A and B are shown apart, each in its own frame.
Chain A
């Protein structure tokens, strides 16, 4: 691996721009927008509903984007336009996918540019974009996209540190591992898995390993402490770490112990084999997909990749039944890591293309093998194939959105009556809201439970999510009746 500083200014600027673009796009949606929504642009709320105007609302409009972010941005730049063009809205999701792929590609390029030529980089990029799981995650879940980005950054940075012992990579890995659980709860399990196996992947005495762990995991601890503090402040003494419940809701505590057991099994198994034992290498060929380093260090990096695969497998097995997005996410993470590893193999890009193609095929097969109980997958595939009118799919949403749009002109908190099934009311903590009256209503197309609602709004600590029946009892809420069209 060649990680010497890039001296060519143009190259550096280009990569810097790509990196910034890749990182900022998903980050914008999950971090900047909620802040803007809360503090800077409360008047943006009616726009949210404006976007759900039934006329012209398409599947792409509904799924392939996160409407608020794009609209806030659009309105801020072009305030004189009343509506945001659909093309701009639909492009957001694709940009997310491009961003994540680019980000990982840039890291890969940085790590392997001595032997990875431009066409090899392009091949990786194409392969990443051809993978349905990566595209799906990028286009439907900014949190998932960020998780992919952060985990990829962490993996490559750790690998780079192991090879070059440059502290820079260790710190980048620490920051990525620290940030990942805050963009997607699944990352916490990835972090735990890494914590359990990393100690045996790096040489050194106790002091060195302790230093390594402090650097790698203190960002998570510090950010976690900060998050707890903020939550405590804004919830006025409410429970710390509200998302712990969400985390348990994904897998439950018993499954966590299964993950721990899997990791312990790996550690014991790994220690049973001396470093040069051939049986350890049977899992991967010397010239195979995961070998990216010289022979002297090969065993350590085999362990590195095995550890990653083990963590992903554990995530897949443990999470597939409890959250429909988890299998896709795991598939995406695995695909990303495998593609990157293959593209980085020092064999020339022509020799990598067949393996990359094979991996894309395998990824596609994995995609079609995913359980089809989840409607979003089908909707997404439909959206890729064409754009049926939203009214045909979700007439009740369209009707409700049209009504809510008129209702919320007054910016009053709104609740929905009992017969407005499948609809939740979301309102800010009125006592602390800016200007004292900001409110927001969102419409969910599927039946929602408290569990889902809390998970969906993970990370948005400034909003209280109140179920319809609770909302109607709130002193500031004015119940309204919603004409619901049922199919």
Chain B
């Protein structure tokens, strides 16, 4: 008897519901049980009970009866934990010389041959619900998963983990450099001083030229849509793969409802969505909020075990362990993605080269008009995601990923080792790591709207985390510069210098130069002339005038793609905004030295709810 008929007979659904599900199945092509669950018409347990009846098996809840430790040890000596997880099965105990297994997928052929063969024993099969199986895995292998999510990258490629902020070689290099610099300043103050001024100016000059080039390249792609609406329309629901959506949250009960509404609006067959809300174990308030809202059945609440460090990448690694999709994306708590974003990402993957590891959607803000800070932030994001990133992509430099709305092939993401839980901008790090290993990253013409920070303190906290993350990323990938160049090539190397190193360095240097300039304007001290010979003066003035002018001018680009014309005059106020950047940069530097893994939490839900697109 078919599953639908069993559910009908059991009274879990009525005929009308079944007919509707059958109709949907023609296009979604998912199993009827998955469709019914995705529509929120039955729950995981009802499906398991029906499956048990369909295959004349018994139903058992592995969560209620933990596996016999001796049996588990025996099983794990023959098959790996990942094998069990891949086939959604767990040993329960021994029954009459056979090993009892619970599974949510009794049709898996592995139970008919491979598993008994590898165990050297016969097996007895029980049916369990998907949810129960997930919970059981998380409970049984808790420590294994903690180790994997926290230390997995370090165990596999220790040189790419930020667990050690500075390596001994880096500390030695910094020590030698600083000592040599101090000695130089003592012995030849004018020569060294001039050299520093010249170097700093060259850095600025190169940085601004790079930004100009990238912006112009990005502006060139303005009307070229990476993925057209026609291409999206050509996709057939039956051909779509399962897509995992990770929703990491921490203490954000206020925005839960809006997030769920946003994800529900995605244009994608619900039965092919594997949505995982990742909650820290100690986050009771968000969990309670979720329980009250009762998200649809295809939303799975995953409790991330309490462990150090308590960071978003660790939660994402945990979600990645249980991802069922062929593709995966991440949305933040306050995100509102474009409806067709998943489909656009799929088209981009299909059109892209084989080594395309990730597709980054644009980010923007729904509360841009709230105050000065949100306006400046919107300008910055519009410029970065609408012009700089496409430009960087065109120029084939590595793309530091944004924290959300990046879409991966799950297989590639696992091959890359997932996210670094010790890096507070795990996204940027992953982008550089992917480039270093020869993968490509592309952008798509789809937007996720977020909530812009509207309070200065909150903004500085968030930005200091980002800048600290950039510092960590730079330190990690500069541990072996020669090896990095050999692996990734010069383009990636210079991309790392300009996009990651140059970013935080300019924020740090800016205030010093501003002070020097003010001092010179106010007092015109004679001694300063010694450090600014004519050639250096030319470059310095060029940076001061042309550099700042170009930076401001490029920022004006930001408004055009989205037609935020009312924001243009605010581009002229960028110097005030840069002061905030530098403040955050110094905070980041301090934290890098004193508390590198501390995750500065950004408070969301400060925007007026009427501004939220789902409101």
Contact = CB atoms under 8 A, between A and B. Distances in A.
B546 A168 contact: no
B543 to A, nearest CB: 11
A212 to B, nearest CB: 8
A167 B553 contact: no
B534 A215 contact: no
Contacts of B563: 208
Interface stretch (A90-98, A216-224, A332-340): A216-224
A170 B219 CA distance: 10
Contact of A222 (B220, B221, B549): B549
Interface residues of B, number: 30
B556 interface: yes
A16 interface: no
A225 B552 CA distance: 14
B538 interface: yes
Interface in B517-566: 534-535, 538, 541, 544-546, 548-549, 552-553, 556-557, 559-561, 563, 565-566
Interface residues on A, range: 20 to 34
A218 B223 contact: no
Interface string B551-585: 01100110111010110110110000000000000
Interface in A140-178: 164-168, 170-171, 174-175
B254 interface: no
Contact of B534 (A211, A233, A434): A434
B552 A222 contact: yes
Contacts of B571: 214
A166 B569 CA distance: 20
A5 B221 contact: yes
Interface in A19-43: 35, 38-40
B53 interface: no
A45 to B, nearest CB: 15
B332 interface: no
B224 interface: yes
A5 B553 contact: no
Contact of A164 (B223, B544, B556, B566): B223
Interface in A171-211: 171, 174-175, 204-205, 207-208, 210-211
B94 interface: no
A205 B568 CA distance: 14
B89 to A, nearest CB: 52
Contacts of A371: none
Given A164-B223, A208-B565, A211-B568, A171 B534 contact: no
A134 to B, nearest CB: 28
Given A174-B553, A211-B568, A167 B221 contact: no
B172 to A, nearest CB: 38
Given A167-B561, A229-B545, A215 B223 contact: no
B548 to A, nearest CB: 8
A207 B565 contact: yes
Contacts of A233: 541
A226 B549 CA distance: 9
A226 B546 contact: yes
A230 interface: yes
A171 B553 contact: yes
Given A171-B557, A215-B556, A222-B545, 14 more contacts: A35-B538, A168-B222, A207-B565, A210-B569, A211-B556, A211-B559, A215-B568, A222-B548, A223-B546, A223-B549, A226-B546, A229-B545, A230-B541, A230-B545
Interface of A: 4-5, 35, 38-40, 164-168, 170-171, 174-175, 204-205, 207-208, 210-211, 214-215, 218-219, 222-223, 225-226, 229-230, 233, 434
14 contacts: A5-B221, A39-B535, A167-B222, A167-B560, A167-B561, A171-B216, A174-B553, A204-B565, A207-B565, A211-B560, A211-B565, A214-B569, A214-B571, A214-B572
